[in-house]
Amino acid sequence: MRYISTRGEAPALGFEDVLLTGLATDGGLYVPESLPHFSLEEIRSWRGLSYSELAFNVMHPFVDDAIPADDFRKMLDETYSVFSHQAVAPLVQLDSNEWVMELFRGPTLAFKDFALQLLGRLLDYVLEKRKQHVVIMGATSGDTGSAAIEGCRRCEHVDIFILHPHERVSEVQRRQMTTVTGDNIHNIAVRGNFDDCQRMVKESFGNQSFLGGKTQLAAVNSINWARIMAQIVYYFQASLALGGPDRSMAFSVPTGNFGDIFAGYLAKKMGLPISQLVIATNRNDILHRFMSGNKYEQHQLEHTLSPSMDIMVSSNFERLLFDLHGRDGQAVKTLLENATKGPVSIEDYRWKHARKLFDSDAVDDKATCDTIREIQEKNEYLLDPHTAIGVRAARNCRRDSSVPMITLGTAHPAKFPDAIAESGVSVKPELPAHMADLFEREERYTVLDNNIAGVQEFITKHWKNA
């Protein structure tokens, strides 16, 4: 399996190099040169498999011979054994043909654990094999940071630097990052928003000279292909649990950076019958504005009750644009360069092609709270604000009530107590036992100005071989 850049000017790489590289040298994102495709008969034969067995079948073609099959199976068994539910990604029914898939049963209570618990093991394996050290640099709107730290903190060959927007993540999200001890873990609170943090990460990957050639950066954000690869699996899992592949499924996905829903798009291209993908956003609705009106335009970022989706520059959207433009890297590069100067659109026929699969909705804070309260009253089931946005968008955009609609439950409600309180429900979400003392643990983080030079200087001073 070879991987190519969405901007067409970087060399094709194998899985190991893509794992360590993150952003391509031309500024693009890596995607597989070709996708594996599974027949309905093959998918049907996977019914009854454990989650880790299914994950092996779906992901192994992407890894190919970079990791021996037995070693990869062992990684997957270890990755998903730490989840708190035997099904790993259990389904909860809300209505006659409406479901929530709980993707928050991992160590940090968010869907990011599915990929980042695996990514840590992949990095450890490849870096040990190469006797190489890397610096992980990542940006988080809330959940990626804690999942990355938890997944990679035991890696012997990495230093971890996670940037989060100062005072713009929930307290639980912040403490999950800043209370983890380890000499190789560094949390940076940037006086800015998530897009500022993400921009610094991308610029640093584009020019790593500040590291003096002594090490290289590795990505944990969803620009890293391994993140997308791992998220494809639970679409297959949900489908198989509800009668797939002999019936089609619809999914509603709370998304800011477009990675989680892009994984669903890939699952469909790999042979899984999916009739609809709903892009569920909050007031930071650049994806909704594009999908509903073919206009890609950045607005001022707003702070909401769903902070993990407070994103205006959706990195993984570039991967979809690459496909919509017939994998023409130059066309994608030109389009995104123009998008930094003002609103852009794509050719109408390309946009209409995307609309065959995708719908979208933007849900404000009031509607989010209303949904949390409604589901609690009718189902005695508590949603976090991001999942509530997914449920509301699913109901607003649903095309066919006979098709099962599955909302991806992206986080545990205990991570967002302020949003739960604002919704007016009487239930207070409790942290699970392994996090019961979270508010008593000592925090460690550094607040820095929204300045890339200062952030890079901090990294060069604090990685272990500096």
Q: What is the DSSP letter of 344?
A: B
Strands (E), 255-355: 274-281
Residues 6+ apart with CB under 8 A from 41: none
Closest CA relative to residue 344, chosen from 336, 353, 333, 332: 336
Across the beta sheet with 134-139, the strand order is 216-218, 134-139, 158-165, 185-190, 446-448
The token duo for 214 is 């002594």
Residue with tokens 């389904």: 91
Q: CB–CB of 166/220 below 8 Å?
A: no
Helix axes 233-241, 259-269, angle to 10 degrees: 60
Q: What element of type H or E holds 251?
A: strand 249-254
Strand partners for 4: 31
Residue with tokens 């504005």: 289
The token duo for 439 is 């508010």
The SS3 assignment for 75 reads helix
- 3-state helix, strand, coil split of the chain in percent (to 5) is 45, 15, 40
Q: Is 112 a catalytic residue?
A: yes
Compute the distance between CA of residue 220 and CA of residue 137 in angstroms, rounded to an integer. 7
Q: What would the 3-class secondary structure string for 296-323 be?
A: ECCCCCCCCCCHHHCCCCCCCHHHHHHH
Angle at 376 between CA 370 and CA 382, to 5 degrees: 100
The SS3 assignment for 394 reads helix
Catalytic residue among 74, 112, 269, 428: 112
Q: What is the DSSP letter of 33?
A: S
Using the CB atoms, write b or e for 128-166: b if 16+ within 10 Å.
Answer: eeeeebbbbbbbbbbbbbbbbbbbbeebebbbbbbbbbb
- Catalytic residue set: 112
